[in-house]
Amino acid sequence: MKGFKIAAVLTLFFVAGILPLSAMAEKYPSEPLNYILCFNPGGETDITA
């Protein structure tokens, strides 16, 4: 039983050390985003905003 607890604790530390590495993979987005909007400037949407 003591060996199982040691293995569980070591596994927990290993997983806790590996998980942050996937979050640091790449910054998103890697290039600027372009938005295409189908509303005219100065139209109804600008008035209601």
**pLDDT tens across 19-41, in order?**
676 666 667 777 888 888 777 77
Q: From CA 11, how far away is CA 5, in angstroms rounded?
A: 10
Return d(Cα 16, Cα 23) in angstroms, integer. 12
CA terminus-to-terminus distance, the chain = 65
For the chain, the average pLDDT equals: 78
Q: What is the pTM of this model?
A: 0.40
39 contact partners, CB below 8 Å, separation of at least 6: 45
CA atoms of 10 and 18, how far apart (whole Å): 12
Residue 9 confidence (pLDDT) above 80: yes
